[in-house]
A and B are shown apart, each in its own frame.
Chain A
């Protein structure tokens, strides 16, 4: 133990690596989550490009049908479980303790454990490319689609081990998510600094609390269903074995009881970023704080009773159809309230069009359109027409890319200075923004049309002359423009780390506690635990003559 003369610079690579692997610091775990997720964003992005190259022209054979199936399965699974979930948990991990004035999460070791479960499951999924064929020579990576409908996952139809890799990877990542959700709830409820009542928490904390609560009851049904699938595959059970009276429909229900709340588990953190970023760049406090909280909790509740709108085409009775159509449309109400509140925040503000704000404004437009095409499909007869078509694919990518991914980009540009101590380049940020907007709209606006013309999703190739050819080419070109935009973003992340302007504590003149500490924050976050008296503690400090606390 050389204590004298030991400096940070003197550490070897091995020591640094050891520190990061064994860390229980919420900021480092948050960063690990984010880096892990970015890695998988790039991998799943490449898979998306393979899909788009294959569909660029009719009768294309860039990849074989088998590989094509693996690509869309891995793309979907990776983007949901190994990009979106970990990156949102990563931001939550990093930001929640800082924003509520805590020194760490409630259970730091559980936190590390949850991250490493997620990491393990991601690598397990991709190990299937090497180990998936097992002894059977039956094809490597999972290829049953990301919902893995029964009986496609039965031993008879998925021999070899690829489906087992999928099942176990998703199950383990689910356990990781539950661990982090438990941790976030305990942190937000039990670790707030003095004075931070529930009504004074930053909206981000409220939304992460709601999201974690939803994760507890939304992700676990999938874990249960995966356990059942394992019983079927390994112990000869009959849960989803239609030959022995089992029901393939039951898997669909269990999957979508997870699947639809999952959309809200992903989008509520995106709402959280918007609720922090839009006020700061509009130079106004958030409009309608209590209504925002109520709308979020309301969304979480309603989202648990909409799942079967993914299943209108399996032939439910008209009561079930009506119920799920009505609840689905009802989700639009609290969501609309949120959009109005963000607009109300911007209304009359002195809006600064910095990169985070650009992404936030694009989010508002795109998420609105995504919601509207969702409402269209809530109408059961219309859904019978559109289900399993590219219209659906365009709709949910509008939600996930146009909504969630844009919000994540906004969050990167907004909080990067806090994490690294340096600002990201505005110029590269603008290039990234415009490339991505262009690519996004070229891909996903156009993609609705072949869907309306009857192009089924997951189709390997198609006949020329159906009116799909040019459209598919445009969609693929848009995908490449997005890929270039993403590369600009990654370059910005890396270059700004060394070349970016020094950020200082509070580059955006913001109001929440994370901006009161140095950038990057010290390991202990706060030298002394702060005390707050309003929703905008830093406003109170900067304007002692007119503090918010006077009006609350």
Chain B
């Protein structure tokens, strides 16, 4: 084996570059995760569109779906409130942060309530379940996958709320920022799901 004549001390190589900044790993990690999630949602959306009008029996989307405008407004405005909350946190204004954060949770919860109401109506009034026909299968899967993500988001929002109440959230604004990226993503997915299910699909 060739012995190395020079003692290796990597630090001696050259002077460090003046400014060495790299992207934040939380943001990059969340962005990667969002790309992966987008691919999952894409496949479910493709399946929904592919099976539109191919159900062997009723009910059809036109028969039973109603456009959930109010709940959509709730979810979309929660993106605004979480953004404002993040701003407040960065400026260390904990009271307004807490208020805006609670509003975000409330708006998300309202949206979930809306989904629950809609599912109740579809199941009890129209007899549409996940096994009724292809529409039922694709509809509950796609909307359910989104609702699952909203639920996860709400859980994490609640954890952050608890952390801020107990006062352990100081200097963690970067992490809250990463979480709000996820929340924005869930909202953007809803825009796609809304368009596909309630606009194109109806």
Contacts and interface: CB of A to CB of B under 8 A. Distances in A.
Interface of A: 101, 106-107, 110, 178, 181-183, 185-187, 189-192, 194-195, 212-213, 216-217, 219-221, 223-225, 227-228, 231-232, 235-239, 244-247, 250, 254, 257, 423, 501, 503-507, 509, 513, 516, 526, 528-533, 537-538, 540-542, 544, 549
Contact of A224 (B3, B25, B44, B138): B44
B17 interface: yes
Contacts of A532: 10, 13-14
Interface stretch (B32-40, B64-72, B74-82, B97-105): B32-40
Nearest to A225: B43
B1 interface: yes
B20 interface: yes
A316 B194 CA distance: 31
B13 A540 contact: yes
B175 interface: no
A167 B138 CA distance: 19
Interface of B: 1-6, 8-17, 20, 22-25, 28-29, 32-33, 35-37, 39-40, 42-44, 47, 50-51, 54-56, 130-131, 133-134, 137-138, 141, 145
Contacts of A217: 35-36, 39
A509 B8 CA distance: 12
A513 B43 contact: no
B17 A195 contact: yes
B32 A181 contact: yes
A219 B55 CA distance: 29
A107 B175 CA distance: 13
Given A216-B39, A250-B47, A506-B4, A530 B55 contact: no
Given A244-B56, A531-B11, A542-B5, A194 B32 contact: no
A423 B2 CA distance: 13
Contacts of B13: 195, 530-533, 537, 540-541
A173 to B, nearest CB: 14
B14 A244 contact: no
Contacts of A238: 131, 133-134, 137
A516 B197 CA distance: 57
B32 A237 contact: no
Contacts of B137: 231-232, 237-239, 246
Contacts of A526: 10
B11 A542 contact: no
Given A217-B39, A220-B39, A531-B13, 7 more contacts: A186-B25, A186-B29, A189-B25, A239-B137, A423-B1, A528-B10, A533-B14
B24 to A, nearest CB: 7
Contacts of B36: 178, 181-182, 216-217, 219-220
A187 B22 CA distance: 11
A142 B35 CA distance: 31
Contacts of B17: 194-195, 531
A223 B16 contact: no
B30 to A, nearest CB: 9
B134 A245 contact: yes
Nearest to A504: B1
